[in-house]
Amino acid sequence: MKKITVIFVLLQICFFNSFGQEDQTQDNNFQYFDDGIASGKNILKVNILSSLSGDVSVSYERVLNHDFSVEVRGGIIRSHYVPDFFSIGEYLDNKDEFLIKGGYSLGIQPRYYYHSAPELYYTALQLRTRHYILESQDMSFNDLYIITGTQKIIGENWVLDVSIGIGARLKIFEIESLDGSSKYQLGGVFPFSIKVGYIF
């Protein structure tokens, strides 16, 4: 019985020793891969320029595979929203007319990265809608455009995303008139955005 016990204990030691050696090898290599960065597939971002213009929204980007990611955004339109750069003058002259009662913005943007998602140069298709209510009318901006940009990871977790694009905008005015009809206006759009974010 004693002999069996001794043999059993020796076998256990050998077994754990072999695993121990493997663990040591893995531990030795682990130091090279411990970079303090989460595998980085999720990014939360805020668009600085659109926030300044009154469209305060948050974006969430999820990396799908080595080349692709998708970004969704949602936000609120604040009371003194300026829809585009060219409307700034008009806004400053007629601030009261631009007073918004409420609004929201939504968007979706699938991205293709040329290097490795979610870093460096990418091309994306953006579909975005913004809807808000003015004193006498409802306004909708529906944009479809292609953007190209670059996204850099700064430090361990911070992200800077800069992009520029070109596309089309469909404006829908719903005016309180006698027949309740809507007006449509199609135009071009040249979005430029700077976003900062956090990758985790």
Partner 1 sequence: MKQLLVSIFIMSCVTLFAQSSKVKVLEGAEFKESKKERFEGIISTDKTGYYAIRTKKSKTFLEHYDQKLNKTLFTELNLKEGKKDKVYEFVVDTEEKIYLFSSFRNQKLKKKFLFSQSVNKKTLQVNSDLKKVAEIDYSSRNRYKSGTFSHELSDDKSKVLIYYTVPVGKNEPSKKGLHVLNDQMKQLWAKNVKMPADAGFGLKDFKIDNDGNVHLLGIVYENGTSKEKRKGKPNYHYEIISYYSQGKKVKKYPVKVQGKFLRDMQIAIGTNNNIICAGFYSSKGTFSISGTFFLKINRNSKKIVTQNFKEFGIDFITQNMTVRQEKKTKKKKAKGKNVELYEYDLDDLIIKPDGGVYLVGEQFFVKVVQHTSTDSNGNTRTTTSYHYYYNDIIVVNFSPSGKIEWTEKILKKQHTVNDGGFYSSYVTCVQGDKMFFVFNDNVKNLQENDKNKYAYFTKSKKTSTLVMVEVSNKGQQKKEVIFAARSYPILARPLLSSQVSEDEVILLGQRKKVNKLTKLKFKKTKGQQIY
Residue 116 DSSP label? B
Contact 130, 140 (CB under 8 A): yes
> Does 184 contact partner 1 by CB under 8 A?
no
Question: What CA–CA distance (Å, rounded) separates 149 from 166?
Answer: 12
> Does 67 contact partner 1 by CB under 8 A?
yes
Task: Give the x/- contact pattern for partner 1 in 107-146, rule: CB under 8 A.
Answer: ---------x---x--------------------------
Strand partners, 70: 62, 110
Question: What CA–CA distance (Å, rounded) separates 47 from 138?
Answer: 24
> Does 156 contact partner 1 by CB under 8 A?
yes
Nearer to partner 1, 33 or 86 (CB): 33
The DSSP string of 35-49 is: -S-----EEEEEEHH
Smallest gap from residue 36 Cβ to partner 1 (A): 4
> Does 27 contact partner 1 by CB under 8 A?
no
Residue ranges in contact with partner 1 by CB under 8 A: 29-30, 32-37, 39, 66-67, 116, 120, 153, 156
